[in-house]
A and B are shown apart, each in its own frame.
Chain A
Amino acid sequence: GNSVTQMEGPVTLSEEAFLTINCTYTATGYPSLFWYVQYPGEGLQLLLKATKADDKGSNKGFEATYRKETTSFHLEKGSVQVSDSAVYFCALPRVNNAGNMLTFGGGTRLMVKP
């Protein structure tokens, strides 16, 4: 079955530092891949996605490239801000006729200090 492995946190960075959060997956075929973000006290928001190999998803300065050869979808940002402090989840879907059923990684908490 599908599975997602993320680097454990928390990750603590200073403002303007470079961020990498590792995500690797196991799946049949070539599923779409997603990164979701959860700010304190809130639900999940889609951050970015990629639907096929070598695609790069990007949003709000975050990027992730779908690497089928390494089954990875690492999240990166060149310069983090305090407002990026949140929990980040990598996810992949099992798709049926009605839509996606997501398998999530365990989440990585990011704390950015001024």
Chain B
Amino acid sequence: ETGVTQSPTHLIKTRGQQVTLRCSSQSGHNTVSWYQQALGQGPQFIFQYYREEENGRGNFPPRFSGLQFPNYSSELNVNALELDDSALYLCASQLSGGRGDTQYFGPGTRLTVL
């Protein structure tokens, strides 16, 4: 176990709706990243939060947004859901610092958009 938890485990939404996914980082980790993993593919980096601010972003539109809280928990929000948003969403936490530092992943939230 990595100490990173995510909720909910599964979620079903319809096109056009909004969704919020939650992540609780490993204790003491001040950096959190979110990834989208479509079925049968590798995870794609969405964005990273550090000190409660977005600190890096992948090739995702603005309807993907996030928050990081002082207790290092975080949220991923997706507005105007599209069918292609169906995926496993993974969060990963790490202690900010060196190039070899490890990211610890949560079990993911499976989002299905109908």
- Chain A residues close to B by CB (< 8 Å): 4, 31-32, 36, 42-46, 49, 51, 89, 91, 93-107
Contacts and interface: CB of A to CB of B under 8 A. Distances in A.
B99 to A, nearest CB: 5
A70 B50 CA distance: 34
Interface residues of B, number: 34
Interface of B: 2, 4, 30-31, 33, 35, 40-45, 48, 50-51, 55-56, 58, 90, 92, 94-97, 99-108
Majority secondary structure of chain A interface residues (helix, strand, loop or mixed):
strand
B100 A51 contact: yes
Given A100-B94, A101-B58, A107-B41, A43 B105 contact: yes
Give the interface SS of chain B, mostly helix, strand, loop or mixed.
Answer: loop
A99 B42 contact: no
A43 B90 CA distance: 7
A101 B50 CA distance: 12
B3 to A, nearest CB: 12
A99 B43 contact: no
7 A-B pairs closest in CB distance: A98-B50, A104-B42, A51-B100, A44-B105, A99-B31, A43-B105, A43-B107
